Amino acid sequence: HVYIPVLPATLVAFLGAPMPYLIGMDAKYKSIAMNEGGMGEDIVYANLDEGHLMCASAAAITLPQHIQRK
């Protein structure tokens, strides 16, 4: 499995990788990430600043309060 804490916008093509990964990105690049990575049924987008999860199989999900704390 691949772990990249903060992916630079210039390397957004890595989101199309065929293996499992956990990749962090600045939220301002969300639209770029969604265009590159798509919204396949096996992809979950998490916005930790706003406390939301988004996946193809469900609408936006709010994280539990104890996880939202920074």
Q: What is the pLDDT of residue 4?
A: 94
Helices (H), 1-70: 30-37, 65-68
- What is the pLDDT at residue 5? 94
Q: 17, 12, 5, 13: which is closest to 29 by C-alpha?
A: 12
Distance CA 53, CA 36 (A): 18
Q: What is the pLDDT of residue 61?
A: 63
d(CA 69, CA 58): 24
pLDDT of 27 reads 86
- Write down the domain spans for the chain: 2-68
Mean per-residue pLDDT pooled into runs of 10, the chain (70 residues): 91 86 88 74 81 72 61
Give the pTM.
Answer: 0.68
